[in-house]
Amino acid sequence: MKTEVKAYAKINLLLDIVATRKDGYHDLFMIMQSVGIYDTVTVSKQKGRKITLSCNLDSIPLDEKNIAYKAAVAFFDACKIKNTGIHIDIVKRIPHAAGLAGGSADGAAVIKALNEIYKTNLSDKELCKIGVKVGADVPFCITGGTLLSQGIGEVLTPVKPLRRCFIVLAKPDFGVNTGYAYNQFDNEGKVHTPDKLGMLCAIQSRDLALICSKMENVFEQFIEVPNRIDMKQIMRNNNALGTCMSGSGPTVFGIFESKSDAEKAADELKVYAKDVCVCAPVNKGCKFKKISE
């Protein structure tokens, strides 16, 4: 059996680090949104009792370091299923180490695919319990849409969906290690706290301009992204309602009402960013593309 899944990226409309936990993790408050750029993850049964991986990019690890591999192991352990052999093929479109949850999206897709292949019939809530053991963003990527995410990412609450708009993603030609980003917070703290209540009210009213005015990411206070100010200015010059960094960076995004404005901004951003795309909000984290016996 073979299952092909679209694994969508995410952006953070708001990201606040609330506290450092005793276990070393961090309590977060995030408004997260799935967006239309995706990896294609194909999971198929094979002989050999092994988990094997392939990918269109040479820079992606093809062993137990890959979140997709870890997700498969976590699924088999949680369901007490003996692995008789699976192969995971990943076609990457989500930029790597970009703050867009590309690896987590792949892990979520693997968990969803294995649930289908092995007919375990687990709910998304049950799958999320497996996913959080693999990575903090995996539960969101399993569920997707527009959600309030708290705890380390495992507490998900539905909020009103984002209105129709166009989102420009611009990732400079370098990555940010998430562990390093959190260490910077632990060492430096934050100087300003995002308006969490204001953002929740804006989200629930579905006021796109107000949502954009409330967008904030505390990582921007201590993660340096070269040309971030210039990229944001290009977006604003092309009528972006708001701009922000996603996750621990370095991807900067802007939200636009007009597709032509978004496309013009994307074209101008290519001076500063290697990976630039125009996409739209989507209402799920994973979507089955093809299932075959």
- Active-site residue list: 10, 137
Cα 257 from Cα 84, distance rounded (Å): 49
Element (H, E) at 269: helix 259-269
Closest of 281, 265, 257, 278 to residue 232, by C-alpha: 265
Cα 155 from Cα 159, distance rounded (Å): 13
Cα 290 from Cα 174, distance rounded (Å): 33
Residue pointed to by tokens 């796109």: 208
Instruction: Give me the phi and psi of 258, to 5 degrees please.
Output: -105, 130
Strands 286-292, 2-20: pairing is antiparallel
